[in-house]
Chain A
């Protein structure tokens, strides 16, 4: 009698969760990108229209949203490089788990550095 379902080497482990994270962050970034091209396109309407909409972004709630977006982008970027290493590096599949932890450490360092700089600029007295 099997006590565990087959395939638990992947399911519910690092490989699966990094894949889930890659999908969710990818979709979030894609929808932001659509909006971001539209808001930048306002430079073609008038200088005041663009500056007004960008001005609406400059509040604490949007600053938190931007910080979350950058968290998603940095994870997607580093995990994407890990996926490439798994596909093209001979030992990639063997070290995929170690590479995920490397991705998470680098993500934390870059994200914290960005968050400190961006939030102190965005929330600082201006």
Chain B
């Protein structure tokens, strides 16, 4: 008796190769996981620059941590360069971190309901922090006023 061995990828029924039923990324998710994987690498490279710069300028230069107070923040955010720097850092770090924690939840939470609710809490925290941080950067006022009175410690133009 002779056995007919098919060449690879011949697709003939009974050739012994596994039927191509399994498709990566099939279903409603599309390419989401691939983009998430790519985003982690691209944002990671940018975050190394942004965060190392952030740490160097805030903690290594001048008098370091002793120089940080309201006036220090006001001085930085008077410059659109640092506003954009901090905005990019906020968004990229929060999305990078959220996706990392999402991966960890998927790995360790075995029950469907547990995974679902942990991710609900995660995404809620992410939305709150990103929106709060963005508003703070763009609505920052170096001369805050409450009930018509300038708050102490602010930087106000001379009257």
Chain A positions near chain B (C-beta within 8 angstroms): 23, 26-27, 29-30, 33-34, 37-38, 40-41, 43-44, 46-48, 50-51, 54-55, 57-58, 63, 66, 70, 73, 77, 80-81, 83-84, 87-88, 114, 117-118, 121-122, 126
Contacts and interface: CB of A to CB of B under 8 A. Distances in A.
B120 interface: no
B48 interface: yes
Interface stretch (B2-10, B24-32, B60-68): B60-68
B66 A126 contact: yes
Please report whether the interface of chain B is mostly helix, strand, loop or mixed according to DSSP.
Answer: helix
Pick the most buried of B97, B141, B146, B151: most chain A CB atoms within 10 A of its CB: B97
A41 B77 CA distance: 13
Given A33-B97, A44-B139, A54 B64 contact: no
A54 B68 contact: yes
Interface stretch (B13-21, B109-117, B128-136): B128-136
B133 A40 contact: yes
Given A26-B100, A118-B64, 20 more contacts: A27-B104, A30-B98, A30-B100, A33-B94, A37-B129, A38-B132, A41-B132, A43-B74, A46-B144, A47-B154, A48-B151, A70-B55, A77-B48, A80-B48, A81-B44, A81-B48, A83-B41, A84-B45, A114-B59, A118-B65
Contacts of B41: 83-84, 87-88
Interface string B58-89: 01100111101111011000000000000000
Given A73-B51, A80-B44, A118-B65, A47 B70 contact: yes
Contacts of A114: 55, 59-60
Interface string B88-106: 0010011001101100100
